[in-house]
Structure 1
């Protein structure tokens, strides 16, 4: 589990693509401080497993499903990526519950400055937007952000300059594809509300206790 608080920006050194998979080699520093084989690291919001590491970086395998659902396939060597290690049990919960399981991608429509804030408007499909609520949480490329407004075709967030400067939001421009993960709580609520209920077995008929013999005995 992650919190959406980016620890550092790494740099993609190489991407080796197979027929339906890829291996990413990422240069990093902070996330290497206590790394072990098999550790989970969110790369632009996608939970990946460290398959090898060195003093300057780590590698991670990306499977077919992940490539189809995220923007990782469009990365090129030299691109910066947001990195976050899985949350430690004794850590502060600074963002929100982030699984690292991307729901889909969105497209940056507009980037606008508003005094000290920077607005990003992201277009997305209905399969994502149905879980996006105003003042709710959204993860964009692994960054925990608050939804400022939402309509039937897009949503917008307002970021402070610090968040932009320490994440790949600084690299984004209109037309770019971003990874999106909605708040998992909404998905669980939807599942519970629409889960097919098993039909209860009909209750056994209860006898009234009145039989032909009973009526005859009492003169009927």
Structure 2
């Protein structure tokens, strides 16, 4: 027998193909699942973008509430600054500061949303509270500057400016209680009608905070025999 033949006969048979062990199968499965979930995430994200609400229109409840409540808040800030200078009572001054600071910040947020939405801060030809179904009635207009529910008249603001001490405190607390009552009514309307989540959340926060302040002001009035 030739050398070559002897070599051929001595060769060991080829080993059978190796089957992937459990670790390899786990790795392959993990990659497949990752690709599957990634594809699903892209699909969900695309669907969310397609279903996202459009920017509120100028006659929407979102825009109407932002405009009207910005005006409503501005008067609360004004009244709070007036009483701060008309009394030395720290309890009333502290309440006035809290209301002025909170409502000035909220007013800035609402005006900022209107800018973000590309909408005017004043919509000509649209009466206040139209977004709640309370405007556009063809009436002669608000009485003496009281544009919305709870707002003080110009005469009441002048009276507050002339008052001092306990008289100013009592008048402010009464006017602000009515102001909050009207503000709560408007904010509850936004909670029901507005479509932007962050705005609805702000409105609900107004409802909760102002109801709490109304209870506080009732106690303060009782202390003053009013």
TM over 0.5: no
TM-score normalised by the chain length of structure 1: 0.25
Computing the radius of gyration from Cα coordinates, the structure with the larger value is: 2
Structure holding more helix per residue: 2
Structure holding more strand per residue: 1
